[in-house]
Structure 1
Amino acid sequence: MVKAKIFTIPKPRIAPKLRVFCFPFAGGSFTTYIPWVHCLNDDVELVLITLPGRASRVSELSHDQMASIISELLEQKSIFADVPYIFFGHSLGSRIAFELAVNLQYLGITSPQYFIASGSRAPHLASRRESIHHLPKSEFIQKLGELNGTPKEVLSNSELIDFFIPALRADFKVAHDYRAKKIPIESPILVLGGKDDIDVTHLELLAWRELSQRETKITLIPGGHFFINEHKSVVIEQVDFVVNLVLTCNEMKHVDEIF
C-alpha cells in the first residue's frame, strides 16, 4: 500500500490494473480531482499529487523550484514500476508531470502508458506571462483574482489568503521559471485545450507534438483556462476514454501472451 505523504489515494484498490496520477495546477490542490474517483473504472486507482504547503501538508514549506518537486516524487519512484499508469496534469501540473516522465525515462523506469496534458503550453516553450510571484501582497492578490484559479472565498478572506500566500507564490515562481529541455517521451500524448483560453494559444498546444515519440492528439473543450472546473464532465469523459483504451490494450496484450 502506498503511504507517502505526496500521494493521496481517495479510494485504494487491492490490486489495481491501472493508476491515474493527477497533478494540480498552480494555486490548486488535489481536491479538483476527488470527484473523479466515482467516475472511473473499478480497476483504476486514482493517485492525487499532494505538494507541501496545502491540504494535509499545509504546515510544510512549499517547493519553489521544479527540481525539488521532482526530487520528492522520485523518492517514491517504485510506485511507477509496479502497476501500469497514466499521467494527467492541468496547467503547471502538466509541466510537472512531463518533467517527472522525462526523469523516469532517464532512470529506465517504464513510462506512462498515456500522458494527458490539460490547459498548458508545451513545457519547452518560455512563459509569455509576466512573473507575479514577487509582487507586493495587494497586487499579487489582484492578479490571482484575474486568473480565476483561486477560490473567491479564499481571496476575500484576509486570514485565509495570508495563510496560503507562501504556497501560491511558490507555485507561480515554478510556473514562470521552469522551462523543459525538448526531450520526447515514450508515451502518446492527449492535449486538452480550452476553446476560449486566452492564456494558452493553439500553437502552444500544438508544440506538445515535439515532445512525444508517438502519437499526439489535440482536443479542444468548451471554456477558458479553467475548463477543468467549468466543464469537468467533458474532461472526465476524455480521461475515461483514455483509461478504457489503455485497459483494453493491456488486456489484449495479456491474452496474446497466453496464446
Structure 2
Amino acid sequence: MSSKLDNCSVVMAHPDDEVLWASSVLSSAAKIILCFGDSSKPRIGHARRLAMKDFPLNTLEFLDLTEARVSNRARWPNPQPSSAGLKISRRMYDLYNRAEQAYETNFSRLCSEFSVRLSGVDDVITHNPWGEYGHEEHVQVFKAVVHAQAKLGYRIWVTNYVSERSLQLMLSQADQIGQSTEPMKTDTHLSKELKQLYERCGCWTWPQRHIWPSYEMYYELAPEKRSPRWVSTLNFVGKEGKLRPADAALALKDG
C-alpha cells in the first residue's frame, strides 16, 4: 500500500470540495484544479472568484466554468452512468433539455482542460466514481479525469467518502477500485482556514457545523475491472454533513 501522495495533483469540481474531501494532501500537492464558478445560486460565482483570489496556496488553478444546473437531476434513487457522468432526467420546464446539453458541453471542456493541465503529472487525486454523496458534477469531473488519463498515463486516486444516497451507486462501481493508501491525517489547520475563507466570501456550501474525520484514505483506480473482494474503511457522509467511519466498506466483504 502507498502511504504518501506527495507532489500529486488534486482535481475537484467546486471550491470547497478540495478541503471537504482531500484536506490531507492539499499542502503537499503540486497542483490544485477547481472547476466550477457560476451556479444556479445567485452571486455564488462572484463569491467563489473572491475566495480564489485569497486562496492560501499558490498551487491553485481555477477554471471558472459555469455549472450545468444538474444537481439532483440524476435518475435517483437508481442513477445510471453516462459518458459525461450520470444520465440526467428531463424536467417539464426544460423543453429543450438545456441542462443535459450544458452537462455534456462541460464534460468536453473539462476533458480539453485536463489534457493540457495534467500533462507530465504522475498522480491525480479526484472525486470517486459515485461522487462522494452522489453529486452529478463530482461524477463528471471523475469521468473527465479518466478520459484524459488515456492520453497522459497518470495514476488516478479517488476519495473514500460515501453517503446513504450514493451507496448503491458505490456498490455498482466498486469493481473499479484498487489498492488504498494508508490512513492519512486530515489537515485541521488548513481545513479551518479554508472554511473561514469560504464563509467570509459567502460560498461555503456545506453545513456550518461540519466536523472533519481524523483520517482519509485514497483508492487507486484499477487499470482493469476487478471482483470487489476488498475490505477497507470509508468515511460516511450522514445527515447534515456529519461524518462517521463506516464498517468494512459498507457491505463489501472479502469473499
Shorter-normalised TM range: 0.3 to 0.5
Could you tell me the TM-score, scaled by structure 1's length?
A: 0.39
Q: Which has the larger radius of gyration?
A: 1
More helix by share: 1
